[in-house]
């Protein structure tokens, strides 16, 4: 089974290596200790847990490999299969390195994660952060692990596939007093998400026209205008999502050449399709106006390390520092 698994490695897009940061003195491994380890039963004591949940405007896919036995497992390989409409943005604890040029499947992407060992009574946890490229539904994400147990046998565990629903939302406009905006945002159970975009064009941008498109997109999606600040280029819109019956406050603004939508609602699951929908509409509007030639000229402005929104869109070739983790990075 190991040979079969290795033969497929050239189809894997990403490889993550988890290395130990501390080197401990090796304990002498005797035949007696090896025999005792072989006597330890690992049956049904190696667990694979996965979950998918909203994380701002992204999905967090969490994988936990847990060894509940009294002996280690080795050569642990985790393969994650996910639909191509998801884009892997970052991971924790390590950084994922992946190559999408080797794909032979237009509908499925792969990431491979490897550990030398999972010690007894220990676990490994991986967090993968995905951003949807488009609205779609019915496709899923899943994982499979292979490992060598203390009997020197290869074992395989498959996770259940988690289906992703990214259907377009239906919004009903709702009027509220502008004085209620602050109260709505301050509610303790309200979740927030932000989509921050930069237009990768060196020419001077017509910010007034872009601000007009921000307003138009929110009206097109049936939100009700609540307040507007033309000088600061900020608008507040409100509406109710018809299926979940949850209210949504969405703010559009232009801030230091960044185009941003900030959405709040009690239901975090509707924020991701909402912001994906708004981004798609924004790209289509700019293409129709011939302000951009390609969707590649629209960049999401999140830190490559921690995912925090970058403070500005820097000029070409210049660095920008994340205000949260302080990593300096190039955007374009």
Average pLDDT in the 130-146 region?
93
Lowest mean pLDDT, pick from 75-79, 100-104, 263-267: 100-104
Q: Return d(Cα 19, Cα 14) in angstroms, integer.
A: 16
42-46: average pLDDT: 91
For the chain, list the domains and their CATH numbers.
2-165 (2.60.40.10), 171-300 (3.30.310.10)
Q: Residue 298: count other Cβ atoms within 10 Å of its Cβ.
A: 18
Maximum mean pLDDT: which of 11-15, 50-54, 106-110 = 50-54
CA 91 from chain centre, in angstroms, equals: 8
> Which of 55, 75, 78, 56 has the alpha carbon at shortest distance from 142?
78
- At 295 the pLDDT is 93
What's the chain's average pLDDT? 87
Cβ(277)–Cβ(221) under 8 Å? yes
Express as a percent the part of the chain with pLDDT over 70: 84
pLDDT for position 224 = 98
> How confident is the model at residue 320, as a pLDDT?
96
pLDDT band at 28 (very low <50, low <70, confident <90, very high): low
Q: What is the per-residue pLDDT for 75?
A: 94
The residues with which 204 forms a beta bridge, in sequence order, are none
Confidence of residue 130 (pLDDT cuts 50, 70, 90): very high
Residue 137 CA: distances (Å) to CA of 85, 128, 162, 171, 300: 10, 20, 11, 18, 22
Cα torsion 255, 176, 192, 130 to 10°: value is -80
Mean pLDDT is lowest, of 48-62, 88-102, 105-119, 259-273, for: 88-102
pLDDT over threshold 50, residue 66: yes
For the segment 276-329, what is each residue's pLDDT rounded down to a tens digit?
Answer: 999 999 999 999 999 999 999 999 999 999 999 999 999 999 999 999 999 999
**Look-up: residue for tokens 């792969």?**
110
The pLDDT score that the predictor gives to residue 2 is: 39
Widest CA span of the chain, in angstroms? 78
What is the H or E stretch that residue 249 is in?
strand 246-255
């Amino acid at each position: 089974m190991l040979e079969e698994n290795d033969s497929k490695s050239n189809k894997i897009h990403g490889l993550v290596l988890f290395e130990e940061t501390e080197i401990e003195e090796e304990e002498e491994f005797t035949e007696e200790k090896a025999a005792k380890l072989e006597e330890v039963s690992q049956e049904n004591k190696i667990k694979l847990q996965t979950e998918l949940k909203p994380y701002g405007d992204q999905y967090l896919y969490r994988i936990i490999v847990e060894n509940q036995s009294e002996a280690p497992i080795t050569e642990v390989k985790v393969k994650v299969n996910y639909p191509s409409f998801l884009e892997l943005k970052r991971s924790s604890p390590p950084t994922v390195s992946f190559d999408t040029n080797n794909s032979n499947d237009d509908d499925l992407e792969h990431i491979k994660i490897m550990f030398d060992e999972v010690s007894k009574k220990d676990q490994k946890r991986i967090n993968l952060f995905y951003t949807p490229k488009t609205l779609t539904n019915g496709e899923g994400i899943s994982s499979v692990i292979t490992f060598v147990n203390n009997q020197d046998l290869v074992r395989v565990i498959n996770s259940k596939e988690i289906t992703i629903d990214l259907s377009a939302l239906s919004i009903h406009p709702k009027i509220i007093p502008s004085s209620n905006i602050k109260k709505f945002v301050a509610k303790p159970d309200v979740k927030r998400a932000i989509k921050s975009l930069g237009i990768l064009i060196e020419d001077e941008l017509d910010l007034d026209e872009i601000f007009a498109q921000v307003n138009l997109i929110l009206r097109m999606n049936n939100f009700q205008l609540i307040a507007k600040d033309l000088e600061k280029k900020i608008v507040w819109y409100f509406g109710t999502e018809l299926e979940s019956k949850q209210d949504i406050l969405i703010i559009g603004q232009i801030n230091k050449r960044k185009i941003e939508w900030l959405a709040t609602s009690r239901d975090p699951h509707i924020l991701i399709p909402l912001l994906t929908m708004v981004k798609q509409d924004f790209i289509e509007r700019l293409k129709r106006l011939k302000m951009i030639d390609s969707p590649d000229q629209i960049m999401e402005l999140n830190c490559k390390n921690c995912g925090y929104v970058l403070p500005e869109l820097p000029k070409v070739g210049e660095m920008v520092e994340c205000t949260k983790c302080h990593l300096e990075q190039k955007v374009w």
